[in-house]
Amino acid sequence: MIVTQTPLKDCYIIEPPVYGDDRGYFSVVHDKHAFAKAFPQQPPFLLQNESFSTYGVLRGLHAQKGDAAQAKLVRCVQGRILDVAVDYRPDSPTYLKHFTLELSGENHKQLLVPRGFLHGFSVLSETAIVNYQVDNTYQPAMEYGIKYDDPTLNIDWQLPQSAIQLSEKDEKLGFI
């Protein structure tokens, strides 16, 4: 497993080992022991979620507050997404900075998004399957978010405005 620090404090790119030949590939997408050694302060992941989306779907920006905060380990199983992490921890040196990374079924990269970060992604391919592990249960009353086009964040989602598809919940989110 190759671990690379992003420009955001505590946010990392994870590249699991991938073994390929003319038949396809085999990958160890999560090794609990290797992960615990690389990130000893990270609580274990409790849930594994998966979403299927079509081109132009934009999910985010979401997080959970307080004791309900979640770290996420995100990967794209099929297709291509632009994954976005925003440091929303007021005491962090990278507060309100964001990082984007293309995750795909081909590059096998993963993004470790720590607690206190907003997270979202846009679908760049015809379809995409996104898998993410979280280290805390989902508590709807503790969820909050910021609208994807917040001018303070100024995120380039790599989609034409006319292609963006939002949920009703994401349409109603406010700005910073």
The pTM (predicted TM-score) of the whole model is 0.96
Domains contained in the chain, CATH given:
2-171 (2.60.120.10)
Active-site option among 12, 62, 88, 119: 62
pLDDT for residue 119: 98
Active-site option among 88, 98, 119, 132: 132
Query: pLDDT tens track of the chain, all 176 residues?
Result: 999 999 999 999 999 999 999 999 999 999 999 999 999 999 999 999 999 999 999 999 999 999 999 999 999 999 999 999 999 999 999 999 999 999 999 999 999 999 999 999 999 999 999 999 999 999 999 999 999 999 999 999 999 999 999 999 999 999 99
148-163 burial by CB neighbour count: b if 16+ within 10 A, else e? bebeebebebebeeee
Catalytic residue status for 132: yes
pLDDT tens profile 10-30: 999 999 999 999 999 999 999
